[in-house]
Chain A
Amino acid sequence: MSGKTESLTGPILLMRGIGKQFPGVVALDGVDFRLLPGEVHALMGENGAGKSTLIKVLTGVYEIDAGTIELSGQQVAFSSPLAAQQAGISTVYQEVNLCTNLSVAENIFIGREPRRRGRIDWKRMRARASELLAGLGIDLDVSTPLSSHSLAVQQMVAIARAVDIEARVLILDEPTSSLDAGEVEQLFDVMRALKAQGIAILFVSHFLDQIYEIADRMTILRNGRLVGEYLTRELPQVELVAKMIGQVLADLEKLHGEARAFDEPLVQAQALGRAGAVEPFTLTIHEGEVVGLAGLLGSGRTEAARLLFGADHATGGQVVYGGEPAALRSPRAAMQRKIAFLSEDRKRDGLVPELTVRENIILALQATRGWTRPVPREQQDKLVAKYIAALKISPAHPEIPVRNLSGGNQQKVLLARWLILEPRLLILDEPTRGIDVGAKAEIQRLVVELSDGGVAVLFISAELEEVLRLSHKVGVLRDRRLVAVLPNDDELTTEALMETIARGGAR
């Protein structure tokens, strides 16, 4: 027992013997968990370990099947997130759960709008929202609808909302999955400040570096069971991973992509652009080449990728595919040229939640064949089984609705959807979002394999290390403009890349 951080007041939150079952799945089985005031406590575990479920039973989204929850020594059972919120628990759930039809300001304040003489004081609300976001390093027009902002911005808005709620406990379920280094730092500053005020923070992330930077203590779950509670500084990273996945992970081999010469250009964007989204940019992607895109939040990486996939109409320029101009009028047209696009916002642009894992996986393949030529069932089952195994999707059952999967597993399902198409250009927008360490290494290895097999990959990630590890060259975007395309040679380090992003020009 090591109890340096153990405060005298005892835990603010104490969960004991928590059990939660879903039909066919035991999501939590006798889990104990405690949270101390003034600590940042990381909840760790593989995809599907039960982290989000623990948070949801705590905050009244689900009922618990077994166990007790005590808040400040008092037994509680919240009937709804509202009740939890009123008891002083403020939560950012894993998927961004905001109302995109409302304005940014409203999303921060809805339910607790500043009022004057009984009516909502819109002016004050906007002013305070701007202020709050500025505190997180975000500057935008808060009266615009949330739907017009990228997922990363939305995530920051959700965070802003949660930290502004007067709370004793702050829960952040993978808030950093689509943020880049700068935003993460902003968030950590805020978290440290809250911690100093004695607020207990529960933090979930698959980025181990972040955990070691911010967390005081961690609780590890595996397959819905408690592995143990540890002080961060006493648990080396390798051991943490071993405890999470139940085995020692082979050291991440250097997958470093090298700048090298390619002869066959596969896709060329020529002055491709879209008014109001991305300035015209020119970029060549060769067969077998991995091109990384780096940039700050809202720099236009997603927009650029969407243009290459025909998801949006370009307002200028053209795409040359295999030497011939290709009019990518729709995603379908791009798919016919064997271009695939894994979108960053899986909830909005990826999953069909009601459909099963199998159906979600074969959807794109079926779509290319049209409705008159069904993929034979045996072939479906074979393909699906193959990718469930390859990507370690769990539960490994193809016939459950995909909405019942954990966030990371949903992401894997979408990846599988595109991989079975055997694309020649694979556009991956934040493919490792919400994916655990083990699977992330798996996916990175996959990218290398694909590129070795001649598949071109456009790789977008907020994690610069990842971009550098995989790419042969890196495109840098800033303010919706492609400002540089850098070969990934020895001189290109994360620092150098960061500097380019900040400076907005070539080295």
Chain B
Amino acid sequence: GATSATSSGDDTITMGFSQVGAESGWRTANTKSVQDSAKNAGVTLKFSDAQQKQENQIKALRSFIQQKVDIIAFSPVVESGWDTVLQEAKRANIPVILTDRAVDSKDTTLYKTFLGSDFVEEGKKAGQWLVEEYKSSTDPVNIVELQGTTGSAPANDRKAGFLEVVGADPKFKIIATQTGDFTRAKGKEVMEAFLKSNPDIDVLYAHNDDMGLGAIEAIEGAGKVPGKDIKIITVDAVKDGMQALADGKINFIVECSPLLGPQLMDLAKKVLKGEQVPPRVVTEETTFTQEQAKEVLSTRQY
């Protein structure tokens, strides 16, 4: 545990936090959570928005080092390419916490801990529900997939995890897959096209709630009943998604919680006090069926 080489001798902690961007509601909820809990925990937060660019994040980290913050936290845009700047941080004795996503550096001393979700796991959970749902049927199951932004980590991993599970059984067939850029509008547009070119769709797997919500509109427009004629699985569990789940329009949601703030502040304090922290803290995430959704709907924060 390093004590920070801080210039500010006072006891308030200054944290530099580099966020990926504000590309989705999920992300902004994540930002808000970090900002709010920093305030509650009395941590001075230096916030920087990288607008989805890794180079901006690296620049932000550099500038945090320059500003001699006590601790750095960031959600890496991608896994690779952090070694150089993390080494600089290490040289400057500034501890680093990763949130939301890990980096693939061999040198694990470059960061103290990683706090976040596991996108592959999320994809697997979605797949497992599907396998469970259709375990008694022998008919082929036609699946269409709405992917996230091409090349983005959640899209890659949620796709891979899902495929790993359903790929084991040949009756599951992914008949169409296309990117919906994580947005409702694209989700609707792509689904409309899917519906026209593929008459028999049994299941829709969307990499986030928003695309699923857009697709629901398309399905309704085509005169089908979402949740019945076409089963829908999504990831995230934002409020609108949970509402749709409770209304029976979505069948299953894998939670991916953006509310990392409080945990992050705790970890930061521990790290700065020199306490031992586990190398990996996975956020507590669950899955929701329609019944569960109805129960928890009123208590959801975002």
In the complex they form, do A and B come into direct contact, defined as C-beta atoms under 8 angstroms apart?
no
Which residues does B use to contact A, with CB under 8 Å? none
